[in-house]
Amino acid sequence: MIRPDAPVLLEIRDLHASVADQPILHGVNLTLRAGEIHAVMGRNGSGKSTLSKVLAGHPAYTVTGGSVRYRGEDLLALDPEQRARIGLFLGFQYPVEIPGVSNLEFLRVATNARRQEGGEEELDTFAFEDLVNEKLQVVQMDPAFLERSVNEGFSGGEKKRNEILQMALLEPVVAILDETDSGLDIDALRIVSGGVNHLAGPDNATLLITHYQRLLDAITPDYVHVMAHGRILRTGGKELALELEQRGYDWVDAEPAVLEAV
């Protein structure tokens, strides 16, 4: 939903970042306003996942230039946990398995950290179980997964559902979903995208990172951005995704900005 007067939630300006001294992002510009769904598409290695990790504050990535403002605040100055507490959420491409840590406890500790930041009361185990059972329905997840270790032995689809369950509990202001569609069969894709649609509202924004059009059949983006060589080369509406689907990415290499970069 595009509303030109909606408040800006995330403003990325000329962002440069590197990992292990290898520059990956070469000046990304992107603005997310409340109510908007953005899709970032691009080939492997274009910098899409790096962008998501930099925004979430992964310690392996170094910002070498530019700025990111989250509701006017300097996001890059905050620890990853603080970014999450004020409403930034990263859905992982490969959710991490954590043996021995109960999924239910993990979800409760995370939810309470976010609530506390918002000045809300912490939930005890009983109140939290009520909440989590309600949210499970968003992703049609079996409550048995709450009793297991975080993501341990979950199938690809179950891991992604668990990500969306976390999103449902944390009610982020800006959700970045990194290849949430990868590894999903048709049913899981339907459930996961249904969850994302359910959670997207006029007061939050969603950034979808994906390779494929099929996710965008289920979640309609307001903007589609094409990323290559660490920059956003082109921005358009959802029809741009269809164009990519038909033409592939080869044409990207002929773009003047790319020729300039390589």
d(CA 215, CA 192) in angstroms, rounded, equals 10
Of the candidates 14, 73, 74, 79, which one interacts with other proteins according to CB under 8 A? Answer: 79
Residue 41 neighbours by CB under 8 Å, 6+ apart: 48, 209, 210, 211, 224, 225, 226, 227, 241, 244
Name the token pair of 121: 């009361």
Residue 57 interacting with other proteins (CB under 8 A): yes
Q: How many residues at the interface with other proteins, by CB under 8 A?
A: 30
Q: Please say which residue, 34 or 107, places its beta carbon nearer to other proteins.
A: 107
Name the token pair of 12: 């990325």
Q: List C-alpha distances in Å: 181 to 47, 85, 96, 208, 226.
A: 18, 25, 16, 10, 17
Q: Please say which residue, 92 or 128, places its beta carbon nearer to other proteins.
A: 92
Q: How far is the CB of 92 from other proteins (least distance, A)?
A: 7
What is the distance, to the nearest Å, from the Cα of residue 237 to the centroid of all Cα atoms in its chain? Answer: 19
Q: How far is the CB of 44 from other proteins (least distance, A)?
A: 19
Residue 10 interacting with other proteins (CB under 8 A): no
Of the candidates 95, 195, 221, 230, which one interacts with other proteins according to CB under 8 A? Answer: 95
Interhelix angle for 156-170 vs 186-199, to 10°? 10
d(CA 239, CA 246) in angstroms, rounded, equals 11
Q: How far is the CB of 180 from other proteins (least distance, A)?
A: 15
Residues 75-83: contacts with CB under 8 Å, at least 24 apart: 75/10, 80/56, 81/113, 83/55, 83/56, 83/57
Yes or no: say if 6 and 36 are a contact pair by the CB < 8 Å rule. Answer: yes
Query: Binding to other proteins (CB under 8 A): which residues in 143-172?
Result: 149-150, 166, 170
Q: How far is the CB of 173 from other proteins (least distance, A)?
A: 13
Q: How far is the CB of 36 from other proteins (least distance, A)?
A: 22
d(CA 170, CA 92) in angstroms, rounded, equals 15
Of the candidates 77, 96, 254, 262, which one interacts with other proteins according to CB under 8 A? Answer: 96
Select the span of 82-90, 121-129, 193-201, 218-226 touching other proteins (CB under 8 A): 82-90
Q: Please say which residue, 100 or 256, places its beta carbon nearer to other proteins.
A: 100
Which residues of this chain interact with other proteins, rule CB under 8 A? 56-60, 79-81, 83-85, 90, 92, 95-96, 98-101, 105-106, 109-110, 113-114, 117, 149-150, 166, 170
